Structure 1
Amino acid sequence: MKINKDKLVLQLLKNITEYSNLDDALLNSLSQLKINEDKYYEIKQELFPKGLSSLMNELNLIINAKLSKEKKPTRFKNFKVNEKIKYFVIRRLLIFQNLVNKKKFFKRILKPNSILGSNKILFKIADEIWFLSGDKSTDYNYYTKRIILMKVYAITFSFFVFDNTKNLEKTKKFLDKEISVVLKFGNFKNKIKNTIKF
């Protein structure tokens, strides 16, 4: 029997917030999808070897796939880089919101043993957003840009979890402020570099 990986992951995402551990949530998901429980260990080892971190990674891949298939705004090519970043951050959050109970899932990923995995996923998210925005840097700026975006995404995500406004209007305003702070800091650094000569 061929297993639909995405379907299983999405079912597990629905169940993970209702169970105290991944094992019970996975077993329940297999039952709901009428997948033989004999496949449990094989599936867990193949798809979720690192537990919740693996599940978060699979969720990230699903969101990436959906995002890459979406039709972009008509004037997207004329967007400034920061506008492209904002666009992809909000689109990711909207897709996430449609797939997961965000408040319950947020509580799960805040557990200490999930923090390291969360940081790895955040870097992958930042890397994907920069890639979709057209970034081709390969120097030290490559990591600097992604680390900064990781922080912006993480704090925006924390705000988004409790935003119940239509189309995430409050989150959009919050993200605008965060991006503005980063841009101002970048301009400040450039002024310092131009002023101080070695």
Structure 2
Amino acid sequence: MTQIPDDPTLDELRGALAPLLARHAAFDGWRPAAVENAAAQLPVDPTIAKLAFKGGAVDMIDAWFASIDARMADAWPADTIMPLKIRERITALVETRLTLIERDREALRRALSILAMPQNVARAGQLGWRAADAIWRAAGDSSVDVNHYTKRATLAGVYGATLLAFLDDDSDGWADTRAFLARRIEGIMRFEQAKGRLFAKKDRVFSPARFIGRLRYPAT
């Protein structure tokens, strides 16, 4: 059973309840009833538990997704994942996320329906970006230039599409989703390689200033 302090803060309570919410949201929807039933498992006062999710369904979904980010990172410490090739790291991390939510597909289906509502689109984008950022960070990416943003934007789209494929995948061991993910990650790797070649070529573009500098200070 999840352990919480005797007098938890709302953040601590939210973190403790988050992994339990999806199991109940599959039946109760992302509504207060799911919070009440999750609170009964800890157990904590349901009235206090509801204060941790004052934003309603989207706050509940946000907390659940955050718990997946954390459990994914815990499953792949740096000394375990860094020996892998980069595409193997991304694949392993995404597949770990899918394993973590496999039992809660109905809750995921309901969550994505809520996030698709017009009033929640911006928040959905933030959550997708956060998931992609968590994956890249766990994979060891520390880029701070434009690569930081392009990597996350690309992976956020791939991860979102993979979730949709996963929802309706009845294949053995969700083989179809794994194949779908492999193709999309191959696309990411090709994009990164092409981008790397493009930036490398910039160093070889004729520069009048560099040419004049070499005339004045020839290489020795």
1:164 aligned residue? 170
- Structure 1 partner of 2:126: 120
1:84 and 2:89 matched: yes
Q: 1:23 to 1:186 in 2, by over 3 A?
A: same
Alpha-carbon distance in structure 2 between the residues aligned to 1:143 and 1:25: 35
One-letter code aligned to 1:70: A
Deviation at 1:31, TM superposition (A): 5.5
Residues 1:35 and 1:147: Cα distance change in structure 2 (over 3 Å): same
Q: Which residue of 1 aligns with 2:188?
A: 182
Q: Provide the aligned C-alpha RMSD in A.
A: 3.2
Taking the aligned partners of 1:174 and 1:153, their CA distance within structure 2 comes to 11
Q: 1:188 to 1:136 in 2, by over 3 A?
A: closer
Which residues of structure 2 form unaligned runs of 5+?
A: 1-5, 207-220
Q: Distance in 2 between matches of 1:59 and 1:177?
A: 27
Matches within 5 A, 1:15-164: 15-19=24-28, 22-30=31-39, 35-37=44-46, 40=47, 42-45=48-51, 47-70=52-75, 76-101=81-106, 102-164=108-170
Q: Tell me, yes or no, if structure 1 residue 173 matches structure 2 residue 179.
A: yes
Q: What's the TM-score once normalised by structure 1's chain length?
A: 0.78
Match of 2:212 in 1: none
Equivalents in 1 of 2:119, 2:38: separation in Å? 23
Structure-2 separation of matches of 1:163 and 1:2: 42
Q: Normalization by structure 2: what TM-score?
A: 0.71
Q: Is the 8 A contact 1:52 1:114 kept in 2?
A: no
Paired residue type of 2:31? L
Letter in 2 for 1:12: L
Equivalent residues of 1:106, 1:161 under 8 A apart = no
1:81 CA drift (Å): 1.2
Shift in alpha-carbon separation, 1:68–1:29, aligned structure 2, 3 A: closer
Q: Is the 8 A contact 1:109 1:115 kept in 2?
A: yes
Question: Partners in 1 of 2:76 and 2:197 — Cα distance?
Answer: 38
Partner of 2:215: none
Q: For 1:16, give the aligned amino acid.
A: A
What residue ranges of structure 1 are gaps of 5+ in the alignment?
A: none
* Residues 4-52 of structure 1: per-residue CA shift (max 9 Å, x gap): 6555334432333444662344345446766444xx2x4333x213222
What is the aligned length? 194
C-alpha contact 1:8 1:30 (8 A) present in aligned 2: yes
Cα gap change, 1:21 to 1:95, in 2 (>3 Å): closer
Q: Deviations over 1:172-193 (max 9, x none)?
A: 1101111222333344445556
Question: Displacement of 1:150 after TM fit?
Answer: 0.7
Taking a change above 3 Å as real, the CA distance of residues 134 and 24 of structure 1, as seen in their structure-2 partners, is same
Aligned residue among 13, 17, 20 for 1:8 = 17
Check the 8 A contact 2:81/2:89 in 1, yes or no. yes
**1:191 & 1:133 partners in 2: Cα distance?**
22
